[in-house]
Amino acid sequence: MIVITGGAGFIGSAMIWELNRSGRDDIIVVDDLGLAATGKWKNLTGLSFTDFIHKDTFLNLVIENRLSEIQAIIHMGAISATTETDANLLMENNFRYSKELAIHCASNNIRFIYASSAATYGDGNKGYDDDEKNLDQLRPLNMYGYSKHLFDLWAKKQGILEQAAGLKFFNVYGPNEYHKEDMTSVVFKAFNQIMEKGTVKLFMSHRDDYRHGEQMRDFIYIKDCTAFMLWLLENRSAHGLFNVGTGQARSFNDLVNTTFSALGLAPDINYIPMPETLRDKYQYFTQAETGRLMSSGYTRPMTSLEDGIKEYVLGFLNTKNPHFEKDIP
């Protein structure tokens, strides 16, 4: 059996799709679905799995060592909002919960793959190198990033990273992110703004070295993330921290223009002031260094921004059913 925590979430449910596509449905989904109105449950409707367990119940099973026949735990469950202000809640969900799972996996020879975050890099002035020797130098800009960073540090100190794989996801976009509200990708937000008003709002730049809309991110399509995670399941010798990005930063202007192009429309962008509360915490440039990922033996090329957005917009967002289903190629 394969356990996926956060299995009803964005990356978790996409990983169920990836496993279904490879012929597997021996999957235990662990999550908290919350209110039905959020629509998170819809991510599971077209997928195949064996069982669903609430995240609190699952943690008790782990602590009491009442699990058996588990091949791997793919730990995507977390509070992922970079704007979350409850530090204790973040520590409980993103740090303590992860520690319990990691200890259980290490003690029982279970493959452990977990979500870290590019938010651990802070403002990027220390670069985006996933070499574990640089971990102590990183200074996250928000509590979410710190909770992820703290677990990375703990995992390194405890030797967990000598057998587990931690994934520093950059800016992921794609199907099944719809329940994330303010944390959805700019692609999703741009599509909906185009459909509603025909124009897209982007933040102005408040730095002289960046023009409006030329702030840059490493945008990665969800299918590239799940393909790498499947490879990690099949290649247990690959361990440590890995940046999960394309290795090529692109501007928000590029992203929005590509979204308009996928719909056959001329671009119309409205630049608005960035809120004062964000300006000191805003990253103007992120780009994954992917040397460790490639040197691990993983050879599949990443999807271009143009191809990823076109598939997302035309194959999912602009259709009657925008969710992953097990029969979708």
Chain-centroid distance, C-alpha 232 = 16
Query: Could you identify the residue written with the tokens 């960046």?
Result: 210
Active-site residue, from 180, 189, 281, 310: 180
Catalytic residue check, 144: yes
Q: What is the DSSP string of 230-289?
A: HHHHH-TT--EEEEES-S--EEHHHHHHHHHHHTT----EEEEPPPHHHHTT--SB----
111-128: burial string, b at 16+ Cβ within 10 Å, e else:
bbbbbbbbbbbbeeeeeb
Instruction: Say whether 279 sits in a helix, a strand or coil.
Output: helix
Active-site residue, from 144, 146, 221, 312: 144
User: Angle at Cα 35 formed by Cα 45 and Cα 101, nearest 5°?
Assistant: 75
Q: How far apart are CA 242 and CA 155, in angstroms?
A: 14
Classify residue 180 as exposed, middle or buried by CB count within 10 Å of its CB (0-12, 13-18, 19+): middle
| Long-range pairs, 59-63, Cβ under 8 A, ≥24 | 59/97, 59/100, 62/100, 62/101, 62/104, 63/100
Q: How far apart are CA 48 and CA 46, in angstroms?
A: 7
Alpha-carbon radius of gyration of the chain: 19
Instruction: Say whether 172 sits in a helix, a strand or coil.
Output: strand
Query: Could you identify the residue written with the tokens 């730095």?
Result: 207
Catalytic residue check, 180: yes
- Which one-letter amino acid corresponds to residue 96? R
Phi/psi for 67 (5° steps) reads -105, 150
Active site residues: 144, 180
